[in-house]
Chain A
Amino acid sequence: MFSRVSALLGLMALCIYLFVTAPPPLEDGGQVTSSATVSIAKAFTVLAVENDGARKIWTDEIVGAGQKVGLRFDEHWADEGMEAGPLPALFLAETARQIQRISTDLTLSLGSDAPIVPKHLFRGPQATAFATLRATGAPQFFEDADLGRQVAMFPDLASAAACVTCHNAHEDSPRHDWVLGEIMGATTWTYPRASVSLAEILELAKVYRAGTRRAYERYLERAGSFEVPPEIGDRWPRDGERVLPSADEFMRAVEGAVSSRTVEALFEAARAR
């Protein structure tokens, strides 16, 4: 009799432990509750706005104007002893590398259907999405079924004459007929979540800006090691001298160029919730 009562009490205790006085149940999938209500596509769009602005300033104000005052830019800029800075595509690659050092979630890369470096050739779902992007000019958003990561691809245009002349002249380029304004490739962003909060979008933009700043600082470090280092301060190559803006000055220009569009993209994201 006693053992039966004990067993019954034990069963009741087990049931209580398992079902009755439960703390709040875990959300299905083990995720904690979040305020993620915005499609990641909106976040990617904000990042693309930021990236477009930074790339334009790098391409026009540093590479374009810099070459006119004697600064060199080269695909092998990072090699030991090179007195050069990164060409636009390589500045983006350096920015992407720095982003990955800051964030374990966000990735950025540049690719094409006719890249100079074979590993940058789009394959699989990226090749399919890029074909649509090339045909329509519209950004492409999809989920990578393998890893479940969200993916965005934005057109990368031949925005400066240097893009076209360099790629057309390069011996490893599979194409030699690029024209100004043409879609040369695409930036690819990936992120593990399909929905984000507005705060998370701002955090991602912050990560992007930090990555851009570090990429530029890396160039400044290299420039500082040149046999005749350019003066670094508040002046720009467009002023007609072999000078470079400081990291603060460079980032002020980037932020000034992109902030209004970034805020607009953020409002757009907020409206879409």
Chain B
Amino acid sequence: MKVAVLIKQTPDTAELPKVSAQEVQSGAVKATMVINPWDEYAAEEAIQLGDRYGADSVAITMGASTATDALKHALAMGIGEAKLIDSSGVSGDMWTTASILAAAVRAEGDVDLVITGKQSVDENSSSVFIGVACKLGFPLAANVVRIVEIAGGRITVERIADGVQETVSLPLPAVISVGKEINDPRFPSFMGIRKANRASIPVVSAAGLDAGELVKRTNWTNIRKPDEKTEACVIFDGATAAEKAAKLVDALVSDKVL
């Protein structure tokens, strides 16, 4: 069995608030780039499927030719192989990315399961894996919190959606996205980090993949920071908790907040 983990390199979440509109517009984001935190759960699950079912794993990232840090992290965790799809010269939207990633999965030949995190912390679309499933013609289960079983050409998963937890069975090959309830991603070991640093990661040009016709249907314009509140906070003071509470409720009621 072979598992492909789709990984994105994204800004460190601690630095997200510092990313400026201009950096995003120009594509030159200065923040420290790391493995998308949600994708660590995907990598961990693929490694665990190696333990449970002897599955081989390959991590695939699409990005600039320098975007290997996320892949090295996955290798250091214990993922078997890594591939970088060099996106230089590609301009498009999330369906463009999905087409290229789907082609990369196809190029692996015999992938039974594609795993991704439930979203990226930068673009937040939760849509690329949906596009990958669509382009591959694979069934999809999103926000998986447990892989119950892989047997008889099917995968059974538990997933959470809108207040219900469903147990769903899908035929393989399939695509799943995973939520953070699914596991506790391991920290790379010292040996793992050494091995990952020595690994040479194959780079495949996006243009060299059989991704079909690439179309772009959406454009990003007017990237901006949300408006910040400017009015000062009204603080309700009093001698006792009861007095403060009464003043706050007075204001909330008279201002029709409640």
Q: Do A and B come from one complex?
A: no
